Chain A
Amino acid sequence: MNFIHNLEVAINGLRANKMRSFLTMLGIIIGVAAVIIMISVGQGASKKIAGQIASMGSNLLIVFPGAGQGPVRGASGSVNTLTLEDAEAIAGLSMVAHVAPELSTNATIGYASQTWTAQVVGTTPEMQMIKDWPVSAGSFFTGDDVRSAAMVAVLGKTVVDNLYLPGTNPVGSTIRINRLPFTVVGVLAPKGASLTGQDQDNVVYIPVSAAQKRLMGVNYVRLINVQAETPESMNFVQSSIENLLRQRHRLVGTSSDDFNVRNLTSVLETAESTTAVMTLLLASVAAVSLLVGGIGTMNIMLVSVTERTREIGLRMAVGATESNIRNQFLVESLVLCLIGGIAGILVGIAGSKIISKAFGWPTFVTVSSILLSAGFSAAVGIFFGYYPAKKAAGLDPIEALRFER
């Protein structure tokens, strides 16, 4: 009963001072919206990175030739120390799930009168497993195709889009890679852009043996993808690979490695945790603005208590207890903050969408960020409403009744 009365009184009070109530709420609205937008931007970024990790293949180690740090040094082409046999040997190690060597080159692809430049990657069928990349038509080439260096190809979506008329099924047709004829056996499902913005669908997969012997005339591979069975085993697998390759390449004593094993997943995971820290930071800044909104609420509640001193005195005279009065003002500031909070949530969701559209950033509004800000604004209402409410409840009824504005 009393709660409903308090609610009615609160709404009556807020309506009596519409402009003032709105401006007070605006502080809460901005605060809540800022929290939601910041969290959604942060969540969007980390979702995107998580997506990259998944598309790259989880638990992935990449073996590059050369002693340098990473692919750049290897790309100079001075050291071509990795072979198909190395890849096969790695596959025999424990805790290794899949191994896929890669030998890639940019090549001109021709079909009928059309030509298109794409990355041609020689690999094994395990590549499909590592990347968890389904086909949308036909199938990936097989281990037999690799053994026989078959002239077969699996096309990425972008390649298909640029060579074939819409609606045609490329499976069974013959394309030319650097003038060599390859039979299309499958088309990959679209995957989208990579973390660095590269189009992952502008690719043609062929058996690594065909790439070595027919296309490029070499006997090394550019790199070897290794998928460990579990995230925990990655360090173990990494050192097993290092030991194995040192043996196979007859590196003894202090002579430095002619290869290096990189854990790209961990790089991305670092990026992900950096993003999480950024999200937290942005959300904290936004939370400060919610705090400022709360202080605004407190200010208005204090004004409201002073304005209604006589009313408080009268209510006490007709039997209101201190807690009745305190609850009345608590409910009022709670209503103020909750309405502000709900409006802020709507503004926040809309703002996130606008930011996605305007800047092309991925944003992701989470239920938890909505609950968090709703809970936070209620907490602000109670926290900043408490002091004014306490002040109102502590008034002396006689003095309150005598109060002159």
Chain B
Amino acid sequence: MAGKTAIVLENIKKVYSMGETQVFALKGISLTIREGEMVAVMGPSGSGKSTLLNILGCLDRPTGGTYYLGGEDVSRLNKNQLALVRNKRIGFVFQNFNLLGRFPVLANVQLPLVYAGVGKKEMADRAKEALDWVGLSKYADHYPGQLSGGQQQRVAIARALVNNPSLILADEPTGALDSRTSIEIISVIQKLNIEKGITVVMVTHEKDIALYCRRLINVKDGRVLGDTPVSNPRNAAEDLAAIPEEREALS
């Protein structure tokens, strides 16, 4: 595992206080993830996977510990500084896509650039490029509601890519998709990890999906229970090619 460190977590804790009771969602997590890694996070429901991902994504601050993103301590930044980090360095992919149904696909892909202060022309060019990269340039003027689930998730990936982030975080990106489409989406994520060298951290419930990653972190009860390399990661593109008949049947 060569390369610079992308993420260093030192004893990260997260406590939710709800009046009298306190929920210890993360109880001290220490991790190092290097640039270009593709990591799966697994664990039972309520184990703290999403909480961890939200902290990695600078959507939330830890109650304790330190988080270095690309060497910079981001665990004490204020809200505006966190927004800037999310805008410039992180892309999100969600289980439910989170596209804005009121706006066409291209506008959805452009959204991060709006807050980066990019000019109109450059915004459109870069969004088209990202759409092209996920193979959906034909759908720029469609509305999200007119696309299939797999296509919508690819639009979401294009949106995550458009700002050239160094880290992409995906919380159960295939959770709402059938198995065939799941592999399609994983193939896009593998491609951006390999071709663009973007670090990927992905939460999943499915062992099958986790095996496409090169490292598997097991979380339980707010702690890291296991952290193992995947000996022979699967290649989604190859797996897709092996099931061409099903493609016809499904589409």
Contacts and interface: CB of A to CB of B under 8 A. Distances in A.
Q: Do A and B come from one complex?
A: yes
Interface of A: 1-2, 4-5, 12-13, 16, 310-311, 313-322, 324, 397-398, 401
A1 B120 contact: yes
A11 to B, nearest CB: 11
B112 A319 contact: yes
Contacts of A16: 102
A4 B54 CA distance: 30
A322 B59 CA distance: 13
Interface of B: 54, 57, 59-60, 79-80, 83-84, 86-88, 92, 94, 98, 100, 102-103, 111-112, 114-120, 159, 163
Contacts of A317: 57, 59, 86, 92, 98
Contact of B83 (A12, A310, A313, A321): A321
A315 B84 CA distance: 12
Contacts of B79: 321-322
A12 to B, nearest CB: 6
A78 B120 CA distance: 90
Given A319-B87, A322-B80, A398-B60, A314 B100 contact: yes
A16 B84 CA distance: 30
Given A2-B114, A13-B102, A16-B102, A319 B86 contact: yes
A1 B83 contact: no
B54 A398 contact: yes
Nearest to A311: B100
Contacts of A316: 59, 83, 86
B114 A5 contact: yes
Contacts of B87: 318-319
Nearest to A2: B114
The 9 residue pairs across chains A and B that have the minimum distance between CB atoms: A319-B87, A318-B112, A319-B115, A321-B83, A314-B98, A5-B114, A320-B115, A397-B59, A319-B86
Contacts of B92: 317-318
Nearest to A16: B102
Q: Which of A2, A311, A314, A322 has the most CB of B within 10 A?
A: A314
Nearest to B80: A321
Contact of A319 (B94, B100, B102, B116): B116
A392 to B, nearest CB: 14
B145 to A, nearest CB: 13
A306 to B, nearest CB: 15
